Amino acid sequence: MCNIWFVGNKQNENYMKILIIGGNGTIGNKVSSHFSDSNEIIIAGRTSGDLIVDISDSHSIKSMFEKTVGLDAIICIAGEAKWDDFDELSEEDYYIGVKSKLMGQVNVVRIGRNYLNPSGSITLSTGILADDPVVKTTSAAMVNGGIHSFVQAVALEIENGIRVNAVSLGVVEDAYDKYKDYFPGHNPIPMKKVINAYARSVFGKSNGEIIRIYD
């Protein structure tokens, strides 16, 4: 990574080449546009972006990384799980979250570390459901909790100075109207706090940290 210091309204962050998977989504869009101010951003997504990837397919993840060179940071803000009543969720329904949000992000770490510069970082995305679930989220809460445990454990073993963290958010301001009925009494998370959580993971020194932003 090159040490370029910015002046004026730019941040004093090291210039980095950052891959943002899900960088065109609701959260990803705000994070990418903030980081693009003083870093090189590559956006990957399922249907749009500089690179196309389906994180539920490890071959697709590998093929995406093959098209990258010299990444300093990988951020994943993508992954799905099915929301429904516990009585309605079939075994197959659980596998949607397991393949996409859980193993998708685990595979981003497993494969992506080989394409990162030494001392690079990988930031995954989870959410408040891991700690404070609401109804219809047995699958979504489960995969979020699984990622939290994975992040803490992989940080003990991953080599080359690579750091792995997860950003765990409450319902974000930009998605509040869509989700507010599922989260009675929850406060929307301001997008500035969301951006700062990712900045803390990428530009800070934490490793194995679950960066919780719940209010």
Residues that bind ligand NAP (CB under 6 A): 21-22, 24-28, 45-48, 53-56, 77-80, 100-101, 104, 125, 127, 169, 171-172, 175, 179
CB of 17 to ligand NAP, least distance (A): 19
Closer of 95 and 179 to ligand NAP (Cβ): 179
Cβ proximity of 145 and 127 under 8 Å: no
- What is the 3-state composition of the chain as percent helix, strand, coil, each rounded to the nearest 5? 40, 20, 40
CB of 36 to ligand NAP, least distance (A): 15
C-alpha closest to that of 20 among 202, 191, 204, 173:
202
Closer of 37 and 132 to ligand NAP (Cβ): 132
* CB-closest chain residue to ligand NAP: 25
CB of 175 to ligand NAP, least distance (A): 3
CB of 83 to ligand NAP, least distance (A): 10
Closer of 13 and 57 to ligand NAP (Cβ): 57
CB of 2 to ligand NAP, least distance (A): 28
The span from the CA of 21 to the CA of 76, in Å, is 5
Closer of 19 and 73 to ligand NAP (Cβ): 19
Closer of 43 and 158 to ligand NAP (Cβ): 43
**Alpha-carbon Rg of the chain, whole angstroms?**
17
Secondary structure element (H or E) that encloses residue 122, with its range:
strand 116-127
The span from the CA of 186 to the CA of 44, in Å, is 30
Amino acid identity of 25? G
